[in-house]
Chain A
Amino acid sequence: MPLWFLRGLRRGVVTTHYPARPDPSAAGLPTPPAFSPLHLDRRIADHLCGICPSRALRREDDMLIFDVGCCTACGRCRDAAPEAVTVSGEFELAATGRASLVKHIPLFREAQA
């Protein structure tokens, strides 16, 4: 009897139950950012658009256009503006329409002012 078979029996079933139950390993996955409009203004938005290596961020007037599809979850935007950008924790991102992956985030400070 090969050893790996016995080891496997001892370890038991390791298969995830996803999608019936959530998978605990999902907690550590790198995920796209979530933006906080309260802390965003035009200057910060332009800075974030500049440092995104994947062209996922674009500013149009007072709207930050975030293309989730282009995001590589590298974390540079979060490192540049930690109070404006947090980790979203979302990884179930499949979309049937490309347009539904383009998110519009208002720049609150500008909207306020």
Chain B
Amino acid sequence: MTSDRSPQPSAAGQQRAEDPGISMAAAGGDQERMVAGRLRDTIASQFGRSLHIRTLDTGSCAVCEQEIRLLAAPHYDLHRLGFFFTPAPRHADLLMVTGPAIRAFDVAARKAYDAIPGPKIVIATGACALGGVYPADAFTHSAVDAIFPVDVWVPGCPPSPLALLQGLLVAVNRLAEKSAAMSFIADDPAEGVPG
């Protein structure tokens, strides 16, 4: 909840060098990420308390969608944090993408992304969207940053609504990012990762 972290401009993007389907996202990846960092600060200051989210399913199994839908339920209630779902990309500030970016969906996904007026944030949620589960082949790009630049990655299969909330709050600079400091090394008391 405190913004005591400095935004990390990512290093030259973890591109899958072997992925044949790289598109414009890779070419401008570096620059876009740094710009995205600045934009996120802008967005956080202007939209941090009222953000409209447009979900985009690029071919998922829809379990991520179920978790996203739970966000609006009384237990998690994303509205109390100032987030709203909107079906119209023109009204959206943030694009929440799930699914392994199947190639048949390229045009529609790009159109949805283009239809969102800037400044905009893209969150990739779920293992599929991050490049897991399905390898890049003739049917999928695997990671969604092959289609458009991604600002925040939320792992999980599916990511629980709490993880999604954390991802959203990180996206608008209201929570500090924690995963960079995690080492996932079990018997390492110095790092504080629970065993």
Contacts and interface: CB of A to CB of B under 8 A. Distances in A.
Contact of A19 (B11, B13, B175, B184): B175
Contacts of A35: 184-186
Most buried by A among B127, B159, B193: B127
Given A15-B80, A23-B162, A55-B132, A86 B179 contact: no
Interface in A89-106: 89-103, 105
A70 B154 CA distance: 10
A95 B14 contact: no
A51 interface: no
Contact of A93 (B154, B193, B195): B154
A93 to B, nearest CB: 5
B68 interface: no
A86 B127 contact: no
B22 to A, nearest CB: 14
B185 A34 contact: yes
Q: Per DSSP, are chain B's interface residues mostly helix, strand or loop, or mixed? A: loop
Interface stretch (B69-77, B83-91, B104-112): B69-77
Contacts of B131: 67, 69-70
Interface residues of B, number: 57
Given A14-B74, A36-B185, A70-B133, A94 B152 contact: yes
Interface in B148-195: 150-157, 159-160, 162-163, 165-167, 169-171, 174-175, 177-180, 182-187, 193-195
A66 B1 CA distance: 28
Most buried by B among A20, A26, A97: A97
A94 B177 contact: yes
Most buried by B among A16, A74, A94: A94
A36 B186 contact: yes
Nearest to A8: B74
A5 interface: no
B132 A96 contact: no
B33 interface: yes
B37 interface: yes
B135 A55 contact: yes
B1 A20 contact: yes
Contact of A95 (B145, B152, B174, B195): B152
A98 B145 contact: yes
Contact of B127 (A15, A71, A85): A71
B74 A19 contact: no
A102 to B, nearest CB: 6
A102 B178 CA distance: 14
Given A35-B184, A101-B179, A105-B185, A96 B37 contact: yes
Given A67-B130, A72-B127, 14 more contacts: A16-B75, A32-B155, A34-B186, A90-B184, A91-B156, A91-B160, A91-B166, A93-B156, A94-B178, A96-B151, A98-B145, A99-B14, A101-B179, A105-B184
